[in-house]
Structure 1
Amino acid sequence: MLPLRFVCAFLISSGLFALSAQAAQREFRGAWVATVWNLDWPSQPGLSAEAQKAQLRALLDRAAELKLNAILLQVRPASDALYASDIEPWSQYLTGQAGVSPGYDPLVFAIAEAHARGLELHAWVNPFRAAVSAAETLPPNHVAKTRPEWVRRFGKQLWIDPGEPAARAYVIDVITDIAGRYDVDGVHLDDYFYPYPLKPGQASFPDDASWQRYGAKSGL
Structure 2
Amino acid sequence: MFKLYHRSQYLCVLLCIVSLTVTLILTPTFHQKTVASTRTHSAAELRGVWLTNIDSDVLFESDRLKNAIGRLHQLNFNTLYPTVWNWGYTLYPSRVAQRVIGRSLDPTPGLQRRDVLNEIVQQAHRKGMAAIPWFEFGFMAPADSLLAQRHPQWLTSRRDGSKIWQEGTHERVWLNPFRPDVQQFILDLIVEIVGNYDVDGIQFDDHFGLPSEFGYDAYTVALYQKEHQGQSPPSDPQDAEWVRWRADKITNYMQRVFHTIKARKQNCLISVSPNPQRVSYDLFLADWEKWERKGFIEELILQVYRNDINVFISELQYPEVVAAQRHIPVGVGILSGLKNRHVPIKQVQEQVTEVRRHKFAGVSFFFYETLWNLSQEKSSDRQSVFQRLFSAATPRPNIYKGWKSN
Tell me which interval the TM-score lies in, with the shorter structure as reference length.
0.5 to 0.7
Q: How does 1:154-193 map to 2 (within 5 A)?
A: 154-155=164-165, 156-190=171-205, 191-193=207-209
CA distance in 2, matches of 1:34, 1:104: 16
Alpha-carbon displacement from aligned partner over 1:123-167 (angstroms, at most 9, x marks no partner)? 101320122xx2x4x4xxx43244221024323212211121221
Alpha-carbon displacement from aligned partner over 1:48-85 (angstroms, at most 9, x marks no partner)? xxxx1112112212221221111000011133111110
Residue 24 of structure 1: which of 40, 43, 47 is its match? 43
Quick one: which amino acid aligns to residue 175 of structure 1?
Answer: I
Please name the residue that 1:150 is paired with.
154
CA distance in 2, matches of 1:160, 1:208: 11
Residue 124 (str. 1) matches residue 134 (str. 2): yes
SS of the residue aligned with 1:158? strand
CA distance in 2, matches of 1:143, 1:127: 13
Q: Which has the larger radius of gyration?
A: 2
CA distance in 2, matches of 1:143, 1:216: 28
Gaps of 5+ in 2: 1-39, 98-102, 157-162, 166-170, 229-244, 246-406
TM-score, normalised with respect to structure 1? 0.68
Please name the residue that 1:194 is paired with.
210
Quick one: which amino acid aligns to residue 189 of structure 2?
Answer: V
Please name the residue that 1:7 is paired with.
none
**Superposed CA RMSD:** 2.4
TM-score, normalised with respect to structure 2? 0.39
Deviation at 1:195, TM superposition (A): 3.1
Residue 39 (str. 1) matches residue 33 (str. 2): no
Quick one: which amino acid aligns to residue 182 of structure 2?
Answer: A
Residue 95 (str. 1) matches residue 99 (str. 2): no
Residue 207 of structure 1: which of 193, 203, 216 is its match? 216
CA distance in 1, matches of 2:84, 2:125: 17
- CA 1:207/1:182 → structure 2, altered by over 3 Å: closer, same or farther? farther
Residue 105 of structure 1: which of 102, 111, 115 is its match? 115
Please name the residue that 2:76 is paired with.
67
- CA 1:210/1:115 → structure 2, altered by over 3 Å: closer, same or farther? same
CA distance in 2, matches of 1:95, 1:38: 16
Identity of aligned residues (%): 26
CA contact (8 A) 2:215 2:221 kept: no
Gaps of 5+ in 1: 1-20, 197-203
